[in-house]
Amino acid sequence: MFVTLKDRTLQLRSPVTTAHGKTTHRQIIEITVQQDEFFGYGESAPLPGFGLETFKEAQTALAEWSENPHTLPTLPAALSGAATALDYLEQATSKICLPPGSIAVQALISATDIPSLEKQVTNAINDGYRAVKLKVAATDAMTDIKRIEIITKLIDTQILLRLDANGGWTRRQALDVLTNTDTGRVALVEEPTSDPSDWQEIHRETGIGIGADEQLTDQTQIDRLVDLGAAQTFVLKPSILGGPPATRRIASQAAQNDIDIIISSFLDGPMALRSARDLALELAPHEIHGLGTAPLFVEDLPSDVQPVNGYLQRL
């Protein structure tokens, strides 16, 4: 088996602001594996502030793997990219042809100033999205309350509003913000605090479903989340979980414990987005997934990962 690695930088149209800071671009490593006439493709893209390896560490790990492809990398982003490429190679060698399909995706909203927020939400509505996800906890509580209030006025009740705090609130802040908004309009809040032991109380006090995201990268922590009954939804990012095999395993554990799943992008490039789309079609075809991120980039990503009327198509 022959492995090829290629570095690439993708620029975001506007910074994406989260509780971890601002992201202006994505450095990715595109991976191609070849066996005879068959190919598989993957991508590795660590993001500072999310507890992953650095980009340089991912480069080193993948370069070592390319010299010895029988030993997978152990670092999460590097492993995810390699495992994705191998999963597609296996499909190619087995001559598996995935059927056409489509999945609904949400729009990501991160603007902190009101005019930009209103523009992003209005564009999402006009583009046919059935759900929007607002990044919160990057500003003060009153600003977040105002931003949520504005969105609930702009969208009708048929469009889901999801929030993502990236663990940036304290328990008190989470309750202050969420109880001062129309909780009936908020479908989900991801990682309201960095301590999952807070989440059951937040769910009980607000009635809002809780999504686990950053907490899912360690099996011990996943087991703890299940034991705590902390989350009603697992938000799975294949590009940091270990690729398709690990994502399928966690999805199975979620199903066994009556936990919903959403497949989500890590501000990924085209190869990782394509894999995530295929996993969404395989594991939760009727959910609205967090994969509507291609329009956030300056570069035109391939058409099959570009949302059309709020859907990604596999042709």
Q: What pLDDT, in 10s, does the model give residues 182-198?
A: 999 999 999 999 999 99
Q: Which of 15-29, 90-104, 259-273 has the lowest mean pLDDT?
A: 15-29
pLDDT digits (tens, 9 = 90+) for 78-125: 999 999 999 999 999 999 999 999 999 999 998 989 999 999 999 999
Examine the fold and report which residue of 71, 93, 115 is the final residue of a domain before the chain moves on.
Answer: 93
Residues 163 and 266 in one domain: yes
Name the band, by pLDDT with cuts 50, 70 and 90, for residue 203: very high
Query: Would you state the pLDDT for residue 58?
Result: 97
Query: Would you state the pLDDT for residue 54?
Result: 95
Query: Would you state the pLDDT for residue 50?
Result: 81
Residues 238 and 122 in one domain: yes
Residue environment code for 101-137, b if the CB has 16+ CB neighbours within 10 A, otherwise e: bbbbbbbbbbbbeeeebbebbeebbeeebbbbbbbbb
Backbone phi, psi, residue 290, to 5°: -90, 55
d(C-alpha 173, C-alpha 141), whole Å: 7
Kindly report the pTM of this predicted structure: 0.96
Q: Which domain holds residue 62?
A: 2-93
Query: Would you state the pLDDT for residue 21?
Result: 84
Residues 309 and 178 in one domain: yes
Domain count, the chain: 2
Residues 73 and 111 in one domain: no
Residues 66 and 20 in one domain: yes
Examine the fold and report which residue of 37, 67, 93 is the final residue of a domain before the chain moves on.
Answer: 93
Stretch 120-140: mean pLDDT, rounded? 96
**CA neighbor of 296 nearest in space, from 263, 264, 268:** 268
